Amino acid sequence: MDKVNELKEKGNQALSAEKFDEAVAAYTEAIALDDQNHVLYSNRSAAFAKAGKFQEALEDAEKTIQLNPTWPKGYSRKGAAAAGLNDFMKAFEAYNEGLKYDPTNAILLQGRMETTASALSFMQSQGDIPMDVDPQQARSRRAPSPPPAKPAEPPKPAEPRVEDMTEEQKNKYFAKKEKELGNAAYKKKDFETALKHYNAAIEHDPTDITFYNNIAAVHFERKEYEECIKQCEKGIEVGRESRADFKLIAKSFARIGNTYRKLENYKQAKVFYEKAMSEHRTPEIKTSLSEVEAKIKEEERMAYINPEKAEEEKEQGNLFFKKGDYSTAVKHYTEAIKRNPDDPKLYSNRAACYTKLAAFDLGLKDCDTCIKLDEKFIKGYIRKGKILQGMQQQSKAQAAYQKALELDPNNAEAIEGYRQCSMNFQRNPQEVLKNAMSDPEIQQILKDPAMRMILEQMQNDPNAVKEHLQNPAIADKIMKLLESGIIQIH
């Protein structure tokens, strides 16, 4: 809330200094942080009214009343905005409604009186009241009348008199008119006419960043990307000099980002989206930034692909696998996968390492990946079957071997794996254990004091298995015990 109060105070100071656009910007930023604060809407309504933007002032006043219906100032804001739109009946009703909550409020009483006088003056100028009628009589005659139906569109404020303006005011007035004509042409996709009017606006007022942004938008639509970037850069320079709203500068940076994105220069697009975010964070820019970051990451991944280097890394992995250094083999297979991510054999080889390291979940994931890359890759199904056997999931392992046999009915590994699963699936755990214990190799392993100590340690600390699997000799013995069903690792 400290930030909200700071922005509100900034807006109040700007309003006092008659810097109405700055005040509106500060209050708007504060509302973005606290959109239930009725005072912020009230203050922004005052700033809009001072700037002659009575429709916006009315909308903020109504929001103020919605948030705090018993606060008299909300009604005074509504009355002032409605009066600025020459909707005197609405203004009169607003002041009366406010007086219900505070009958002695001087601002509401004065506002109602001034509205009545303004209404009479307006009607007199329109010929609604004869010049010889006493205004007091007219007021009393009209007061009981029911309120008229709400007009479809409130009347616009009277056009300012150009002859009464200073030179600077004239320039801004004519620049605004040219911009409006340009916007109308832009909506019709008449870009040539739009450019003509936007350039004319700059001739009248070269200090407004909006005109440069609009010209850049035309060039963007016409796919004149280099010219679009130049106009945005010029707009940013002008905006900095004239202390333009940070939102407008952010818009220029974002448009440059959009342009580089169209040119598929994603790194440059990222730079300018980040600059836009530093000026003003919006969900749209944040989304665009995330999307180009994903594009950059994908480009880098694709640029890294090199099948020849992948083959070199695979050979290194094979070498370390044969030495029993499975962890180092994993590193080389992983690098090979980065270099050639579409080769199923690389995932299969890494799955074999993970199996030796008892990292069954990772091995299973690699098997699924290589099968996804090549549904006819028999080795992938056989590796998957062996891993599932090690996890004592006999039915799933049997299904994997079955898939391999569908591809090659004579594959010896698949036939043996399927046979073992069938036998283990039919026998009870006591029978499996009895058969395993009759195997001389199993007996030798279990009689080894060092292995007995390791097994005891694994039972007390399941994570200890990872350390022992680094030793190839111990790893082979543990795998033998796993395959026999003596031990299980989940």
Residue 426 clears pLDDT 70, i.e. is over it: no
At 125, the pLDDT band (50, 70, 90 cuts) reads low
**Tens digit of each residue's pLDDT (9 = 90 or more) over 346-404:** 999 999 999 988 889 999 999 999 999 999 999 999 999 999 988 878 889 999 999 99
**57 touches 77 (CB < 8 A):** yes
Residue 137 clears pLDDT 80, i.e. is over it: no
Non-local CB neighbours of 354 within 8 Å, separated by 6+ positions: 330, 360, 362, 363, 366, 387
Look at 126 and 310; give whichever has higher pLDDT: 310
Closest CA relative to residue 251, chosen from 285, 297, 201, 289: 285
Residues 145-158, mean pLDDT to the nearest whole number: 56
Residue 141 clears pLDDT 60, i.e. is over it: no
Range list of H helices, 51-166 = 54-67, 72-84, 88-101, 106-125, 135-142
The proportion of the chain whose per-residue pLDDT surpasses 70, expressed as a percent, equals: 86
Packing angle of the helix pair 449-460, 472-484 (nearest 10 deg): 70
Closest CA relative to residue 389, chosen from 367, 369, 418: 418
The per-residue pLDDT for 483 is: 66
The per-residue pLDDT for 436 is: 66
**Rounded to whole angstroms, how far apart are CA atoms 464 and 457?**
7
**If you average pLDDT over every residue of the chain, what do you get?**
86
**Rounded to whole angstroms, how far apart are CA atoms 217 and 231?**
9
Alpha-carbon distance values, 63 to 58, 157, 246 (Å): 9, 22, 25
Alpha-carbon distance values, 291 to 272, 273, 331 (Å): 13, 11, 30
The per-residue pLDDT for 199 is: 94
Closest CA relative to residue 21, chosen from 233, 230, 207: 207
The per-residue pLDDT for 111 is: 83
**Tens digit of each residue's pLDDT (9 = 90 or more) over 405-417:** 999 999 999 999 9
Residue 224 clears pLDDT 90, i.e. is over it: yes
Residue 490 clears pLDDT 70, i.e. is over it: no
Residue 452 clears pLDDT 50, i.e. is over it: yes
Weakest-pLDDT range from 35-49, 109-123, 362-376: 109-123
At 139, the pLDDT band (50, 70, 90 cuts) reads very low
**Rounded to whole angstroms, how far apart are CA atoms 396 and 57?**
70
All structural domains of the chain: 1-123 (1.25.40.10), 168-303 (1.25.40.10), 326-427 (1.25.40.10), 437-489 (1.10.260.100)
Q: What does the longest C-alpha to C-alpha distance in the chain come to?
A: 128
Residue 283 clears pLDDT 90, i.e. is over it: yes
At 189, the pLDDT band (50, 70, 90 cuts) reads very high
Residue 243 clears pLDDT 70, i.e. is over it: yes
The per-residue pLDDT for 2 is: 78
